[in-house]
């Protein structure tokens, strides 16, 4: 069993810590494209762009951003993280990512989710009271579209389809669809029952408390009659530097700025340095440190979850571009080879001991 390693971003547009001015949107996109190009060059497996509709994030159209990344890369897989499916049209999503699949020679993926923010609902005219039913119904349609062929489908939230095809047709069939889950049992069971790979976001607390969701995902797939459980991915916040102190000192200011801003919006206090440092604990949720510390934490999480994918969000807030490039370089050249070798060793040992 291999472990895919990669990055996620929302293409943040907050001012860099210590600087009054905000980077221009044009420059931020240029920096992001340089980052994904480097991620590809150092051998990372996945680059994922999340969707938001706020002034502090640029990626309101992930498929467009990923298409630009496709032109600058050769091997890295390109995914949304997430596509807010509840307030989008699955047919249009399929068209966009099928196009991306062709532009990238078969590297496109969709990570569908309900989203952690609600701005897209009033923006596109959807009722928040339909939050759950919108996602469940549209996910069902998206899965059918991703499988290919004529689709016949009906539901409450969009016009029916009667034996219709969606064009262009992608290279991959089915086009990969992951489900992003923030820690609700219902979402976990849904993903497993549909035999869809699940991306589990761990952005607070001790990761051990999420381990039951991995088991629930697998059991739901088995109960639905699927012989091989779908893949599991983990999405976490992290950052790597030459020393643990440099990693923490670089990452904390932008991280605290974002978490405090979101906290004020949602009625809870911002994060202190002591709280941040607690997350750096070897069993904590923040994957921040030097290469050896990050390797240790990734392998610890893999032991807990048995996951097949591991994505880190380095840019929680606007991290200085030069520091981002350094972090990506270390991730690809120092962390990834060690992690992959150890996961392969563990897997080989397990396979050899099987009856």
Report, as an integer, the average pLDDT of 333-340: 98
Residue 348: predicted pLDDT: 86
Average pLDDT over residues 201-224: 94
Q: Tens digits of per-residue pLDDT, 19-51?
A: 777 789 999 999 999 999 999 999 999 999 999
pLDDT in tens, 56-72: 999 999 999 999 999 99
Which residues, 6 or more positions from 66, have their beta carbon under 8 angstroms from its beta carbon?
47, 49, 78, 79, 80, 100, 104, 108
pLDDT surpassing 60 at residue 148:
yes
| 70-95 average pLDDT score | 97
- 80 and 50 in contact (C-beta within 8 Å)? yes
* pLDDT tier, 355 (very low <50, low <70, confident <90, very high otherwise): very low
Confidence of residue 350 (pLDDT cuts 50, 70, 90): low
- Average pLDDT over the chain reads 94
Q: Is the pLDDT of residue 317 over 70?
A: yes
% of the chain beyond a pLDDT of 70: 98
Each residue's pLDDT tens digit, 133-142:
999 999 999 9
DSSP for 133-196 reads HHHHHHHHHHHHHHH-S-EEE--SSS--EEEE--SSPPSSSSPPEEEEESS-HHHHHHHHHTT-
Overall size of the chain counted in residues: 355
> What pLDDT shows up at residue 18?
75
Does the domain at residues 4-353 carry the CATH identifier 3.20.20.30?
A: yes
More confident site: 285 or 116: 285
Structure confidence by residue, pLDDT tens digits, 288-304: 999 999 999 999 999 99
Mean pLDDT value across residues 164-176? 97
């Amino acid at each position: 069993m291999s472990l895919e390693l990669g990055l996620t971003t929302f293409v943040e547009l907050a001012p860099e810590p210590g600087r009054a001015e905000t980077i221009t949107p044009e420059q931020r996109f240029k920096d992001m494209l340089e980052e994904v190009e480097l991620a590809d060059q150092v051998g990372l497996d996945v680059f994922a762009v999340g969707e938001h509709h706020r002034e502090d994030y640029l990626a309101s159209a992930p498929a467009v951003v990923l298409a630009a990344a496709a032109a600058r890369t050769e091997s890295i897989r390109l995914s949304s993280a997430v596509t807010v499916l509840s307030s989008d049209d699955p047919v249009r999503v399929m068209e966009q990512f099928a196009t991306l699949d062709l532009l990238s020679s078969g590297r496109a993926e969709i990570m569908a989710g309900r989203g952690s923010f609600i701005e897209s609902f009033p923006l596109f005219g959807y009722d928040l009271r339909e939050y759950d039913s919108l996602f469940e119904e549209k996910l069902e349609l998206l899965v059918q579209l991703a499988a290919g062929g004529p689709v016949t489908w009906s539901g409450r939230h969009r016009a029916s389809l009667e034996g219709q095809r969606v064009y262009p047709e992608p290279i991959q069939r089915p086009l990969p669809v992951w489900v992003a889950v923030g820690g609700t049992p219902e979402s976990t069971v849904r993903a497993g029952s549909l035999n869809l790979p699940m991306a589990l976001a761990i952005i607070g607390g001790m990761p051990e408390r999420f381990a039951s969701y991995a088991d629930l995902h697998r059991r739901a797939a088995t109960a639905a009659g699927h012989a091989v459980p779908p893949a599991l991915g983990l999405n976490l916040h992290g950052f790597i530097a030459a020393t643990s102190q440099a990693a923490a000192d670089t990452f904390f200011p932008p991280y605290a700025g974002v978490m405090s801003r979101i906290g004020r919006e949602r009625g809870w206090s911002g994060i202190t340095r002591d709280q941040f440092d607690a997350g750096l604990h070897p069993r904590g949720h923040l994957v921040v440190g030097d290469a050896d510390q990050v390797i240790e934490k990734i392998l610890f999480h893999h032991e807990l979850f048995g996951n097949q994918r591991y994505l880190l969000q380095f840019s929680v807030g606007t991290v200085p571009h030069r520091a981002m490039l350094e972090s990506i370089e270390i991730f690809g050249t120092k962390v990834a080879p060690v992690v992959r070798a150890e996961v392969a060793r563990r897997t080989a040992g397990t396979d050899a001991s099987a009856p």
